[in-house]
Structure 1
Amino acid sequence: MVDSPSWVAALLRQPWVMPLVRICVVSAYLIGGVTKLMHFDAAVAEQVHFGLHPGWLWATLAIFVEIAGSLCVIFNRFTWLGAGALAALTVVAMLVANNFWRLEGVARFIALNSFFEHLGLVAAFVMLTYLASGERRSRV
Structure 2
Amino acid sequence: MPLVRICLVSAFLIGRVSKLLHFDAAVAKQLHFGLQPGWLWAGLATFVKIAGSVCVIANRFTWLGAGGLAALTLVAMLVANHFWRLEGTARFVALNSFFEHLGLIAAFVMVTYLAFGERRSRI
TM-score range relative to shorter protein: over 0.9
Q: TM-score, normalised by structure 1?
A: 0.87
In 2, Cα distance between equivalents of 1:88 and 1:32: 17
77, 94, 112: which one pairs with 2:60?
A: 77
Q: Work out the number of aligned pairs and report it.
A: 123
For the pair 1:42 / 2:42, whether they are aligned, the reply is no
Q: By how many angstroms is 1:29 displaced?
A: 0.6
Task: Indicate the RMSD between aligned Cα atoms, in angstroms.
Answer: 0.5
Q: By how many angstroms is 1:33 displaced?
A: 1.3
Once the two structures are superposed, what CA deviation does each residue of 1:62-100 show, in whole Å capped at 9, x if it has no partner?
A: 000110000000000000000000000000000000010
* Stretches of structure 1 lacking an aligned partner (at least 5 in a row): 1-17
For the pair 1:62 / 2:27, whether they are aligned, the reply is no
Helix, strand or coil: the match of 1:86?
Answer: helix
In 2, Cα distance between equivalents of 1:42 and 1:125: 27
List structure 1 runs of 4+ shifted beyond 4 angstroms. Answer: none
Structure 1 equivalent of residue 16 of structure 2: 33
Once the two structures are superposed, what CA deviation does each residue of 1:38-80 show, in whole Å capped at 9, x if it has no partner?
A: 1100000000001100000000000001100000000000000
One-letter amino acid of the structure 2 residue matched with residue 26 of structure 1: V
Structure number with larger C-alpha Rg:
1
Calculate percent identity across the aligned residue pairs.
82
Q: TM-score, normalised by structure 2?
A: 0.99
In 1, Cα distance between equivalents of 2:63 and 2:30: 26
In 2, Cα distance between equivalents of 1:84 and 1:32: 18
In 2, Cα distance between equivalents of 1:137 and 1:49: 44
Say which structure is richer in helix. 2
